[in-house]
Amino acid sequence: MTEWTIKARNFTNCNCAYGCPCQFNALPTDGTCRGAMCFQFTEGHFGDVDLGGLRAAGLFAFPGPVHHGNGKMQIIVDESASEAQRDALLTIMQGQETEPMATMWAVYTSMCSTILEPLFKPIEMEIDVENRTGRVVVPGVFEMTGEPIRNPVTGDVHRARIGLPHGFEYEIAEIGSASLKATGEIEHDLENSHGQFAELHLSNSGVVRTAA
């Protein structure tokens, strides 16, 4: 197995209500799971291939809960990546060279019956985890924005976090509100649904725990 590790800022939007029941082993809000995950890799490597500074995203659509399978996914890698970097990110984000079910990428890939051809496109990306803001644009494919949740009465910014010390994606995620419009092979039209912001540290074995 090729050794790899990454650190990344992550911004995710799905169709669930704020908090996303899936984070609590509950069924998704409307019974389906649809959304996008975006990554700004701050550092990392796949073997001797440097992954720092790259950007990537994934679009997903499941007709039911993720664990029921029959999903569809498509990975998008920034066109600036070299051929070796593209191959490395596609390998990682399709759950290969990874211990079984050790990362969210491995889980989602195993639950998808349709994996579309990857896209190599320019990706505009701004992610601020602490302030729960984000904007991602892949021209002709999708646009996603995120902001803090606000008190419906006062308009004040609300802060909520989810801690998953034994999760396969993150240890702590900041929760916000996000919207997504996707017009490619996987279509989405989400508004003010679950937004998730996190600092990721992953390897072949899954989340690299802070205590380690």
User: Would you kindly state where each structural domain of the chain is located, as residue ranges?
Assistant: 4-207
Predicted pLDDT at 81? 98
Predicted pLDDT at 211? 67
| Beta strands, E only, 63-151 | 71-78, 112-115, 119-121, 124-128, 133-138, 142-147, 149-150
Longest dimension (CA), the chain: 53
Report d(CA 62, CA 88) in Å as an integer.
Answer: 25
Residue 86 near residue 129, CB atoms below 8 Å:
no
Q: Per-block average pLDDT, block size 10, for the chain (212 residues)?
A: 98 98 96 98 98 98 97 98 98 97 97 98 98 98 98 96 96 98 97 98 96 58
Predicted pLDDT at 43? 98
Global confidence as pTM:
0.96
Please report where in the chains the tokens 């899954």 appear, as a residue.
Answer: 206
R_g over Cα of the chain: 16
| Residue 167 backbone phi and psi in degrees, to 5 | -75, 175
Predicted pLDDT at 187? 98
Report d(CA 72, CA 58) in Å as an integer.
Answer: 10
Predicted pLDDT at 57? 98
- Among 132, 118, 205, 140, residue whose Cα is nearest residue 175: 132
